[in-house]
Amino acid sequence: MVSNKMVEQKGNILMKRYEIGKLLGQGSFAKVYHGRNVKNSQSVAIKVIDKEKILKSELMDQIRREISVMNLVRHPCIVQLYEVMATKSKIYFVLEYVKGGELFNKIRRGRLKEEVARKYFQQLISAIDFCHSRGVYHRDLKPENLLLDENRNLKISDFGLSAFAECKRQDGLLHTTCGTPAYVAPEVINRKGYDGAKADVWACGVILYVLLAGYLPFQDKNVMNMYKKICRAELKWPSWFPSDVRKLLRRILDPNPTTRISVSEIMENPWFRVGLDSDLLNKTIPTEDVIPVHMDSTSDHFTKNTNEEKQAAENLTSLNAFDIISLSSGFDLSGMFEDDNSKEEPKFTSTNTVVTITKKLEDVAKSLQLKFLKKSGGLLKMEGSKPGRKGVMSINAEIFQITPNFHLVEFTKTNGDTLEYQKVKQEMRPALKDIVWAWQGELPQPLNEQL
């Protein structure tokens, strides 16, 4: 039996296979440790995922998909998944150890030289071309998800939001709104369906701009204003950008996906081919057909979402994630809501499931001696027990689905005295802290990279 606490301590052996070392990073659902293969002393990264948190956030299907995807995309410019292990409460990804850190950290020190930026862009496009040839779309390309090895070669990581070609609907397009706002393509924001390959190309264009400029091409404190700039492809060119780079970026950052340049066309571009390693576009990594999955004697299988959760989610109104919140690390969220929050109805976001949110709201309502009623479409109703100056106070709480594991809850007073309503809001706020990720107008605890 593997102790649940063992991964918190240095020097422990995981399933007689890996020695656990120092903590490398931490996200909302996982911790990443340095590890050593006890048989051959190979350094690895071990991502330790809390299964309970994953189940509560309805992310188990995402974990399964990530394993399947990483089994397909075996390429020198992609972080490799060696094997998967599981206990009753933890899932362990044993990954290639990439010790050079994030490309994002390199950019923080300033823009890159043209030849360096081109090298990384060539490696990025090579890996993305390989992914697309396997029917895989990354959907969250950004410098934070690009790592550098000891030889300063690029490695794509974090396929948690990736999709298969089989995920397309009958119209041949993907429809799940996801990614990091500053890097998403206009068609993803517009929610009319999108080609995963073309969306990845757009993100690659934003990355190339960032590598050469040292800052994002589309910026604004207000998210909606930023999306307008993205949809119009409002670009300003730094004076040091060569004309051939500008021409290429205009074709990549084309707001019309039907006329946007393809990966194969990028690889034929004269600027792209300068100094290109001819073997780069043909490299793959030999591998077994299936990544091994090891479980100890206490392990259960990867439990699927309950029918209760699925049914609750199906009844919700779906919102565009990018109208509500940015998931990018360090992004200023203060401009998302109106400046005068006192005139706004309270809203908060939550990473909990619909059932968990509903149960918490019901418990809070009862503690405040309010009647609690469930309506259709994620609408909940709370009413006072007796009439006030302006009748019985009535509050609607509506749950909107942003993504399967991210929700917005909005309160609205529908009847009763305003002062009574303000008092209830004040009492309700601290009582809901267990399920709140961020209230409107407030910076949340950073998600960082959800490792």
Q: Which residues are annotated as a binding site for ATP?
A: 47
Q: Is 422 exposed, middle or buried (0-12, 13-18, 19+ CB in 10 A)?
A: exposed
Instruction: Choose the catalytic residue: 140, 195, 200, 254.
Output: 140
* Residues 245-258 as b or e (16 or more Cβ within 10 Å = b): beebbebbbbbebe
Q: Would you call 230 helix, strand, or coil by DSSP?
A: helix
Dihedral sign from CA coordinates of 114, 115, 121, 122:
positive
- Cα gap 410→82, rounded to integer Å: 43
Instruction: Provide, for the chain, the percentages of residues in helix, strand and coil under a 3-state DSSP scheme, each rounded to the nearest 5.
Output: 35, 20, 45
Asked if 157 and 106 touch (Cβ cutoff 8 Å), the reply is no
300 is known as an active-site residue = no
CB-CB contact of 197 with 263 (8 Å): yes
Q: Are 139 and 65 in contact (CB under 8 A)?
A: no
CA distance 270 to 122: 12
Distances (CA, A) of 297 to 33, 158, 300, 330, 388: 23, 29, 8, 41, 60
- Which two structure tokens, joined as six digits, stand for 351? 């990473």
| Active site amino acids | 140
